[in-house]
Structure 1
Amino acid sequence: MTVSIEMGVKPNGTSSVVDLEELLATRLLVQGNSGSGKSHLLRRLMEQSAPWVQQVVIDPEGDFVSLADEFGHVVIEATMNDRELTMIAARVRQHRISVILNLEQLEPDKQLKAAAAFMNGLFDSERQYWYPVLVVVDEAQLFAPAASGDFGEEARRLSLMAMTNLMCRGRKRGLAGIIATQRLAKLAKNVAAEASNFLMGRTFLDIDMARASDLLGMDRRQAEQFRNLERGQFISLGPAMTRRPQKVIIGDVVTGSRGGSPKLMPMPSQPVETAAELIFTATENDPVLNNNRIAAPSAKDVMMQLSHTAASNMQAQHKEVVEAEPEDLFNLEEKNQQYKEIIGKILEDPEASFAPVSQLYQDFQVRCRIDRLKSQDLAKFRKLLSVARAGVGKKEVEDVDWQQAEVVAAQLPEEMRGVYLLLAKAAMAGEACPADLDIAKAYGTRSPGRARWLLTHMEERGFIICASDLRGNRIVTLPDIGKQTATK
């Protein structure tokens, strides 16, 4: 079925349409400086396509929640934990419900993590629910930044990986990325390059104009026209719209943004004395501040707190030196065994394999307190968790080859260590190579495709060598420990 939606008009007065089915297969990138009309364009696209296709909007500013009143979108306030967001995303795909993920109440790092968790839930859904979905990401440069520095490294990595999956691998899963950005130069190139359709609006910076002209196949002199575009005017190009660059004027919308563009209005006229009284006198009609941020303490307060903490620590250390008894070294092995048993009990829950490490660590700490054990730090817990997920027993741990495997695994990112140890265990025991689902579980995902990607990534970094025999069975070699495992 071919469905064309009208986005606006061309300068000659004819309609500018988008082939919706082609758009689902080829994705869209929208670019324009603040005030160029990007949000208006996205709103027009969603309003026109709402009857035809499911929509998911990643909304960092809460601009699109008004779609709910007119078109029935469900607004999801992203204040819940990552696991809940992932499960909600899976249900969104299962039941084909259009939603808006409202991130405006979160701090920047939490916005990235929440968006990543939600997009991962969309991406990892079961094959039977791979219905076509328009995934609209506003301010995409926040979620796929070209460089680090503005956000925490973990949040940036999670969000960038989710955006890369959406734009690079989402098409076959029914996910069509529609990304909008103010600054092309701040958007990761591998994310922007996956779009085949473009709508470029007004922009003034040379670096952004240069990238826009490159994407549209224009020379640098033609790029000057981006400066002269009016609000709501865009240059379109792509298989879903037009085969050569054409100007389009975006049409009207039914819903409106909660913010909107600033409009000039006359200043109120009142005496200076009255104005001073209004701002310095508290009344019952004072505005309510919607701000959850904690005020920053003064330098004096910080110094006093540090001094007090340092003094308290010195007293506590002195008391420990005087009163502490020598630690019973003979109980260390017994305690380590107790830690392993606790982690084993945690992993008995089928959902534990897919839970964030931070959540598992909290459970571990609680169980340690119940058993009157001193909790291990997070780094030690991660190591124990990787070994437990690999299903390693005491015999393997004491083996010299296994100790070498742990040294090699320590060079991998923390979330990948369990997978390497799983392969090492199978290789050392002469067992069959773990299946994709087992590898995915050790990695903390339900996606076999993610498991295959992980093996490719580890091979590119030189940790493993993957091959196939004449029957197509997988053979994985671990050169650092001189072992090999194969599918049987």
Structure 2
Amino acid sequence: MTFQIDMGIDSSGRPACVDLEELLATRLLVQGNSGSGKSHLLRRLLEGSARQVQQVIVDPEGDFVTFAGPYGHVAIEAVDYSLAEITRFATRCREHRTSVVLSLEGLEMEGQMRCAATFLSALFDAPRDYWYPALVVIDEAQIFAPAAGAEVAEDVRRASLGAMTNLMSRGRKRGLAGIIATQRLAKLSKNVAAEASNFLMGRTFLDIDMARAADLLGMERRQAEAIRDLPRGTFLGLGPAVARRPVTIRIGEVETSARSSSPKLVPLPDQSPAEDMRDFILAPVEETMSLPLAPPPPPRPAPAAELLEALAATPAAEPEDADPVDADAVMADALHGIVADPDSALRPAAALFQDFQVRCRMAGLRRIALDPSSFARRLAAARAGIYQPEDEQWAPAMTAAAAVPDEMLGAFLLIARAARENAPCPSDEEIARIYGTSSLGRARRVLAYMEDRDVIVTRTDLSGRRSVTIPRLGWTTASTDA
């Protein structure tokens, strides 16, 4: 099935259209200086395809939230949510094929980049069952894929640039068609811009941007001057979804409008004579009743980690008739509570360690003989269903686990537990969950990594049922569907 999006008229007065099916396969880059009509173009494109395909809009200025009314898009104000919630929203969006607008208004640049990277990565990592076609429209793309170092933390810049690169280079196989708009090509990463096969170039004045636009359109350098002379709302288009040769397109009208608009001239108010206004503007400020000085702010509270260390170092007087506390049982209960929390998989290990310490102290355990590294391994064992790994029955498995990296410990122990209990081999979904991802491909790579190092041996029979053996222990899981 094909569908033509009416974008306006070309230089000869005929309708100019964009092929939606071709656009989903080849991606689009829109460029133009501020005021050239980029947002108007994106709005025309989105309105024309809203009833045909899922749309995901990353909106730095909050201009596209008006799609929530007539077209039923779900508007998400990112400033009101955590990154963990943004991840869940993106997964649900792909699962239910819901069109959304992620408004980043109110966030600083670093916050916008961090939020967009989290959202796009969650879209990209969605399970294969949810790889439905979707247009992913990103306005002001130079913010999220800068050509040079931005004034943000390096890890944030790398995460944002990586998410944009994945969208434009590998998103097609996942049904994600990137549509990016930028004011200046020179500020946009070349690796991101080069992945687009369709181009709509609006009015541009700087020579470096005109030269790059002319190169993308296959024009000679002397023809680049035409880009400078384009009127507002007119674009030069090229690409398999637009036209095989450069074509001039004047964008048509739109039904919705942005919350903000370009400034318009309005008449000045009737003013009093200049002398009266001078006296009014320069009139002395009236004295106001002096208010008492505010008390100094309270001292800043100490970080939670320092308080926990101080509590651990303070000897506590135990009542003579107090019952002794079973440390292993208390720690096992604390781990039970953390693992049962569905949000714990999205929280950093340091925060979970603090939560673990608080739970143990609330249960009466004063001394916790676990450092952060030991806690991380014990948490991995708990996620595999082993809450007391020091028991004699699990000692061989914990010894064999020394051969795998810490991040794979949970997956290994999940297999070891199934093998010891003669339970079916864990599925790829279970291994992915305990590894902390939704990608089944990563789960399979974990198994391949351990098999390459002779930690496990995987067998798959002709009916596709899989079993795993741990040679060092002599344990084998029951067969299950791979």
TM-score relative to the length of structure 2? 0.71
Secondary structure of 1:247 counterpart: strand
2:359 equivalent to 1:367: yes
Offset at 1:248? 1.6
- Correspondences of 1:149-164 after superposition (within 5 Å): 149-164=150-165
Q: Unpaired runs of 5+ in structure 1?
A: 283-300, 326-333, 410-416, 475-487
Distance 1:381 1:205, change over 3 A: farther
What is residue 68 of structure 2 aligned with on the other side?
Answer: 68
- Correspondences of 1:45-194 after superposition (within 5 Å): 45-78=45-78, 79-194=80-195
Residue by residue, what CA displacement relative to the aligned partner does 1:335-359 show, whole Å, maximum 9, x if unpaired? 799667634542345x357423277
Question: Given the alignment, which residue of 246, 260, 272 partners 2:278?
Answer: 272
2:16 equivalent to 1:13: no
Residue by residue, what CA displacement relative to the aligned partner does 1:121-166 show, whole Å, maximum 9, x if unpaired? 4334444443322111111222233344422334334433433332
Q: 2:15 is aligned with what amino acid?
A: S
Q: 1:257 is aligned with what amino acid?
A: A
What is residue 32 of structure 1 aligned with on the other side?
Answer: 32
Offset at 1:52? 1.8
Offset at 1:33? 2.1
Secondary structure of 1:215 counterpart: helix
Distance 1:42 1:377, change over 3 A: farther
2:79 equivalent to 1:43: no
Offset at 1:386? 5.7
Offset at 1:185? 3.0
2:347 equivalent to 1:356: yes
Offset at 1:16? 1.3
Contact in 1 for aligned 2:401/2:409 (Cα 8 Å): no
- Correspondences of 1:401-412 after superposition (within 5 Å): none
2:241 equivalent to 1:223: no
Larger Rg: 2
Contact in 1 for aligned 2:401/2:412 (Cα 8 Å): no
Distance 1:129 1:257, change over 3 A: same
Secondary structure of 2:180 counterpart: strand
1: distance between equivalents of 2:279 and 2:286? 12
Contact in 1 for aligned 2:53/2:135 (Cα 8 Å): yes
Q: 1:356 is aligned with what amino acid?
A: R
After alignment, is 119-128 or 77-86 more displaced? 119-128
Q: Unpaired runs of 5+ in structure 2?
A: 288-295, 317-325, 467-478
Residue by residue, what CA displacement relative to the aligned partner does 1:167-202 show, whole Å, maximum 9, x if unpaired? 233223322211112232333333322221111222
Distance 1:425 1:133, change over 3 A: closer
How many pairs align? Answer: 437
What is residue 339 of structure 2 aligned with on the other side?
Answer: 347
After alignment, is 69-78 or 217-226 more displaced? 217-226
1: distance between equivalents of 2:249 and 2:280? 50
1: distance between equivalents of 2:16 and 2:340? 57
Instruction: State the identity %.
Output: 52
Distance 1:363 1:212, change over 3 A: farther
Offset at 1:114? 2.8
After alignment, is 157-166 or 64-73 more displaced? 157-166
Offset at 1:62? 0.7
1: distance between equivalents of 2:184 and 2:412? 43
Contact in 2 for aligned 1:27/1:177 (Cα 8 Å): yes
Q: 2:213 is aligned with what amino acid?
A: A
Contact in 2 for aligned 1:24/1:176 (Cα 8 Å): yes
1: distance between equivalents of 2:218 and 2:254? 30
2: distance between equivalents of 1:188 and 1:397? 51
Q: 1:449 is aligned with what amino acid?
A: G
Secondary structure of 1:70 counterpart: coil
Contact in 1 for aligned 2:344/2:352 (Cα 8 Å): no
Residue by residue, what CA displacement relative to the aligned partner does 1:294-313 show, whole Å, maximum 9, x if unpaired? xxxxxxx99x989x99xxx9
Offset at 1:28? 1.0
1: distance between equivalents of 2:208 and 2:125? 36
Q: 1:242 is aligned with what amino acid?
A: A
Residue by residue, what CA displacement relative to the aligned partner does 1:274-329 show, whole Å, maximum 9, x if unpaired? 34579x789xxxxxxxxxxxxxxxxxx99x989x99xxx9xx99xx99x879xxxx
